[in-house]
Structure 1
Amino acid sequence: MTDTQINDTRKKELLSKQVEHIDITSFDARPIIDSMGKMSFTSRDLARATGIYNQMLKDKDCTIFLVIAGSTSAGGCMDLYAELVRNNMVDCVVATGASIVDMDFFEGLGHKHYQALEIPDDNTLRSLYIDRIYDTYIDEEQLQDCDHTIGKIADEQPAKGMSSREFIRAMGKYLSEHGKKENSLVKLAYEHDVPIFCPAFVDSSAGFGLVKHQVDRMKEGKPYLMIDAVADFRELTDIKIEAGASGLLMIGGGVPKNFIQDTVVCAEILGHDDVEMHKYAVQITVADVRDGACSSSTLQEAASWGKVQTTEEQMVFAEAGSVMPLLASDAYHRGYWKDREKRRWAKLFAED
């Protein structure tokens, strides 16, 4: 057997068990959340956070922002987030580029994430073109297909500055026409007019595809597409100004968390003194508060900046993949989303 055959066999062994994304419609978490509300520690925090999310869904005037950082999409929550969009349980998404491109769009193209049945030497993984996220694997060759697809989509866009929202909408259109997975957040967001923002968009597979697009166009002496980060901030602030009451369901922290919270301050800078702070806020994180970080700040700390009200807010210090299925299943089965008006915030922008 040749070295190539040995490597192919070993790679096939390592990529043999696909990650199966949890289906929040298949089980009813309401009794568990009700019981947790009678407990203490993180259990009670989660029950209160779930209650606040249900309040967002019941509030007829509330626009709900889903904010995602970290790798929960790769780890099994991808269909969960898609279900929230499908059932009108969120109105806008702010996320890392990895969550949207490397994970959701990647699977929308027909690729998969895999459970690591063992953790071999990472140099061995590199030799086999396998990327590792803790105990989850990605085939690097498939990921490069994602990179090149992003480049192809960029080639078809007008040579101008585009917000990440506008480009991700083009990605959703591509999946709607050519995708291989029905339950894709990017695809469903396009179909339901739910805008997606990635404030650090090029810090993902999108970055490789967009760089290739620009380099190829430069070689040809042609103009090229650019991602306009300022437009991202302006557009998201426009939504906050129009929305009025708002709630935040935040997984992780970092740039997406800061970005959505800062819209209140930006609106004030633009002269909209009547724009209220985010009325509801839930953050699920494992970040520590002792170093002054907590992946951007606690929700209580954000109140001092005029970003978040402290009446209906809850921090949940837990690994999101272990608690989001309970929160989302509870909210799905309580059914307050059935009476919500669709916001369709994507229609706020001219090209839509």
Structure 2
Amino acid sequence: MNTETPINDTRKAELLSKQVEHIDIKSFDARPIVDAMKKMSFTSRDLGRATDIYNQMLSDPDCSVILVIAGSTSAGGCMDLYADLVKHNMVDAIVATGATIVDMDFFEALGHKHYQALEIPDDDTLRSLYIDRIYDTYIDEEKLQETDHTIGDIANSLEARPYSSREFIKEMGKWLQTHGKKDNSLVKLAYEHDVPIFCPAFVDSSAGFGLVKHQVDRMKEGKPYMVLDAIADFRELTNLKIKAGTTGLLMIGGGVPKNFTQDTVVCAEILGHDDVEVHKYAVQITVADVRDGACSSSTLQEAASWGKVSTALEQMVFAEATSVLPLLASDAYHRGHWKTRAKRAFGKMFD
């Protein structure tokens, strides 16, 4: 960090004065409004059907649920929502961006916060104050750099060998049990409940800076260093898919986490498992467009042509996720199918 120009601490404190408060899906019952929306049209009806499909995933005794997260919904107020899905056995594995896991959840687990932007001054002004902006949300860059160094410290404590992202994130959860300052951390709860977290592009996050520093420091010392094995990520998640059998996807956003998770079906076939099931259930909440041929990694209908997803029980919801995901999650929580679900504890299959 460049400290030649002193930071205006008064101005910085003024801008970082209103914390983002994460929504609590247990504090309200969304079932009546979701039931009413099912009788409407457009996005309301899409959300109603998506919620039905998610409830079917939870009520199907054979279905394992994979939560797929891209984008900044954790910073925007859904962090405790995701934690509750783990805590209440409503997801069995997670595939996410590194930013979701490190820059947002792990960041807050260290005691730091995200802030609502009460105003959005010139971004050069924000830079001079070491404030990072996610649309209308602020992060203290100085605290984020502390997070980078913490990731480096964890890497320094480990044996110098290859790790999958799942394996390294497990070490992060273990570290939080002793050093964390937030009980309701997704990383910590996933470790405690044996819910594996995969980040197929892990270094595309604050973790990358800490891990690069770890390697450079070790190189200077002439010592071996740890590395992340992206192929192991794909192999491990594919093995999880093979073991799980019937699977359902709850996808927030798209991109790498979405495509990575869907590709496990194809990878399993390449490994000789011709009987592997396509993902039986799938819900995607996204604002991405289909007209550029992408939709942040294809529509669910398009994915069916690749042999990844069934078209019978899938639903696209074109909406900004923080506006509809709390309704879906609260509805599922209060319908209570999670209360009788068998716990998969997939994390143990890698021990």
Which of the five TM-score ranges fits, normalised by the shorter chain? Answer: over 0.9
CA distance in 1 between counterparts of 2:277 and 2:21 reads: 40
Q: Structure 2 matches for 1:271-282, cutoff 5 A? A: 271-282=272-283
Secondary structure (helix, strand or coil) at the match of 1:165 reads helix
Gaps of 5+ in 2: none
CA change 1:221–1:47 in 2 (3 A) is: same
State the Cα deviation string for residues 271-309 of structure 1 (Å, max 9, x = none).
000100000000000000011010000000000000000
Secondary structure (helix, strand or coil) at the match of 1:295 reads coil
Secondary structure (helix, strand or coil) at the match of 1:211 reads helix
Secondary structure (helix, strand or coil) at the match of 1:316 reads strand
Partner of 1:24: 25
The answer as to whether partners of 2:166 and 2:233 remain within 8 angstroms in 1 is yes
Partner of 2:199: 198
Partner of 2:87: 86
Q: Structure 2 matches for 1:21-100, cutoff 5 A? A: 21-100=22-101
Partner of 1:303: 304
Q: Structure 2 matches for 1:103-114, cutoff 5 A? A: 103-114=104-115
**CA RMSD, 1 decimal:** 1.0
Q: Structure 2 matches for 1:1-352, cutoff 5 A? A: 7-349=8-350, 352=351
CA distance in 1 between counterparts of 2:241 and 2:273 reads: 11
CA distance in 2 between counterparts of 1:328 and 1:182 reads: 20
Deviation, 1:119, is: 0.4
CA distance in 2 between counterparts of 1:287 and 1:260 reads: 18
> Match for 2:142: what amino acid?
E
> Match for 1:156: what amino acid?
S
Deviation, 1:61, is: 0.5
CA distance in 2 between counterparts of 1:330 and 1:44 reads: 14
> Match for 1:120: what amino acid?
P
State the Cα deviation string for residues 121-177 of structure 1 (Å, max 9, x = none).
000000000000000000000000100000000001110110000000000001111
State the TM-score, normalized to the length of structure 2. 0.98
Deviation, 1:192, is: 0.2
Percent same amino acid among aligned pairs? Answer: 82
Deviation, 1:5, is: 8.2
Secondary structure (helix, strand or coil) at the match of 2:62 reads coil
> Match for 2:295: what amino acid?
C
Gaps of 5+ in 1: none
Secondary structure (helix, strand or coil) at the match of 1:294 reads coil
CA distance in 2 between counterparts of 1:66 and 1:158 reads: 30
State the TM-score, normalized to the length of structure 1. 0.98
Alignment size in residue pairs: 348
CA distance in 2 between counterparts of 1:234 and 1:16 reads: 44
Deviation, 1:6, is: 7.6
Deviation, 1:50, is: 0.3
CA distance in 2 between counterparts of 1:40 and 1:177 reads: 49
CA distance in 2 between counterparts of 1:341 and 1:156 reads: 35
Secondary structure (helix, strand or coil) at the match of 1:250 reads strand
CA distance in 2 between counterparts of 1:219 and 1:67 reads: 38
Secondary structure (helix, strand or coil) at the match of 2:251 reads strand
The answer as to whether partners of 2:283 and 2:317 remain within 8 angstroms in 1 is yes
